[in-house]
Amino acid sequence: MDARLDERLAGGGRLLGRLSRLPPSGTLAVGEKVRALRASGRSIFNLSGGAPDPGPPVGLALPAIAPGENSLGDPWGELTLRKSFADRLARRYNVVRGADREMVVTIGAKQGLYFALLALLEPGDEVIVIDPCWVTYAPSVELAGGRTIPVPLAAPDNRLDTEAIAAAITGRTRVVLINTPHNPTGRVFSEAELSALAHLVKERDLWLMCDESFDLFVFDGRTHLSPGVFDAIRDRTILLYSFSKAFALPSYRIGMLAGPEPLCSLVANCTQQLISSVALAAQKVAHAALQKETEWAPLLRRTYQDKRDACLALLKQDARVDARAPQGTFYLFPNIERTGWSSERLATRLLDAAGVAVTSGAVFGSAGEGHIRLNLVGPLPALLEGTKALLRGLPG
């Protein structure tokens, strides 16, 4: 027997390939630590995540599935849900996409992101991402065979730096991937920023992918602008949405992808082969939530702006923290460089010594170093207590 084969069989076989290089999620890993510590009996303030408050605009009970519905569904997603979402995009953002062939229901925004990248990338192709950025972008690009090229946001106001993006483009660049409102900084990109980027994408024959998962989380009278409004790049723009964020339904794992028909057809075909279809019960809940958006969206904005302001006021009382008001999302991303500690070291100290879970800014990219991210999904009293415990746990 071949010695190498014998060694592999004796060890049960080695695990090789892309998945062996896939890192764990830098955000979800914190949640795993919180669950383990709570199971051991420790009291933990979780400022890294949790169940959303307010809860969703619809009940969490699973809707009934009629006998005739108990089958594999449409890989594109239920047409009623797609039509409702297409109406929403047109009404709220002036983005016009056909429900029939320009929209696909996905298992959260993550599936839409990954399947779209599979449709766009050949091995070695490059995707420009802004730095810092959501932790799932780079692993998704690399699983799809591509390579991420991070481009920092421009200091001091985290501006979308089109000139820096242009300088990073090579002959292998295929996609520019952005997120607005931006996770983790909370920046809401302006019309001028997005218009300049749209011009660059058109000029350089690229694709623009925009994750709009936080589209309802915009504060201080601002409005969210979708790059889907730019007709010049309509045939090269992909939009991603999340019911987990906008409608407080993380457990149902529902998202939406909108884009040109050729791309959507590939995503739907990939869904058919790998997933078959998204669970019908979850789609029914998502559709019901959409019907409540008129009264839901103002409540969501008002509640999260109040939570932002209350926690921010506490942070601003401490000179060791440089906390600025985010324009959107449900995160705070304070700078903690004055403590003299790295982001990861401080996050570890806060969890171990103070019982406060936060996310290290370094997991979002090199530009996130020197920050920690606080998640404001929980009830305000718990957030305030957690923020006070955080300040007590700071070194110095």
Q: At residue 13, does pLDDT exceed 70?
A: no
Q: At residue 328, does pLDDT exceed 50?
A: yes
Pairing type for strands 359-360 and 356-357 reads: unpaired
Does 60 reside within a domain?
no
The domain boundary residue, chosen from 292, 311, 343: 292
> Are residues 334 and 387 both part of a single domain?
yes
> Are residues 109 and 155 both part of a single domain?
yes
Does 270 reside within a domain?
yes
Q: How far apart are CA 330 and CA 328, in angstroms?
A: 7
Angstrom CA distances, 366 to 20, 131, 353, stand at: 23, 7, 26
CATH of residue 337's domain is: 3.90.1150.10
Domain housing 382: 17-55+295-393
Residues 124-157: tens digit of each pLDDT? 999 999 999 999 999 999 999 999 999 999 999 9
Does 4 reside within a domain?
no
> Are residues 286 and 299 both part of a single domain?
no
Residue 118: predicted pLDDT: 98
Q: What torsion do the CA atoms of 363, 366, 370, 375 make, to the nearest 10 degrees?
A: -30
Q: At residue 11, does pLDDT exceed 60?
A: no
> Are residues 221 and 358 both part of a single domain?
no
CATH of residue 180's domain is: 3.40.640.10
> Are residues 272 and 246 both part of a single domain?
yes
> Are residues 93 and 206 both part of a single domain?
yes
The domain boundary residue, chosen from 258, 292, 326: 292
Question: 22 versus 270: which is more confidently predicted?
Answer: 270
Does 61 reside within a domain?
no
Phi, psi dihedrals of residue 103, rounded to the nearest 5°: -155, 135
Question: 6 versus 292: which is more confidently predicted?
Answer: 292
Q: At residue 2, does pLDDT exceed 70?
A: no
pTM: 0.93
> Are residues 280 and 323 both part of a single domain?
no
> Are residues 114 and 196 both part of a single domain?
yes
> Are residues 163 and 227 both part of a single domain?
yes
- Residue 347: its H or E element: helix 343-349
> Are residues 159 and 273 both part of a single domain?
yes
Residue type, 184: P
Question: Confidence class of residue 76 from pLDDT cuts 50, 70 and 90?
Answer: very high
Does 357 reside within a domain?
yes
Concatenated DSSP letters of 107-134: SHHHHHHHHHHHHH--TT-EEEEEES--
> Are residues 282 and 315 both part of a single domain?
no
Does 5 reside within a domain?
no
> Are residues 99 and 48 both part of a single domain?
no
Angstrom CA distances, 161 to 150, 212, 359, 378, stand at: 12, 19, 25, 33
Q: How far apart are CA 134 and CA 25, in angstroms?
A: 10
Number of folded domains in the chain? Answer: 2
* Average pLDDT over all residues of the chain: 94
Residue 105 gets the label, from left (phi > 0), alpha (psi -120 to 50) or beta, of: beta
Residues 158-213: tens digit of each pLDDT? 999 999 999 999 999 999 999 999 999 999 999 999 999 999 999 999 999 999 99
The domain boundary residue, chosen from 272, 292, 312: 292
Does 2 reside within a domain?
no
Q: How far apart are CA 390 and CA 245, in angstroms?
A: 25
Does 64 reside within a domain?
no
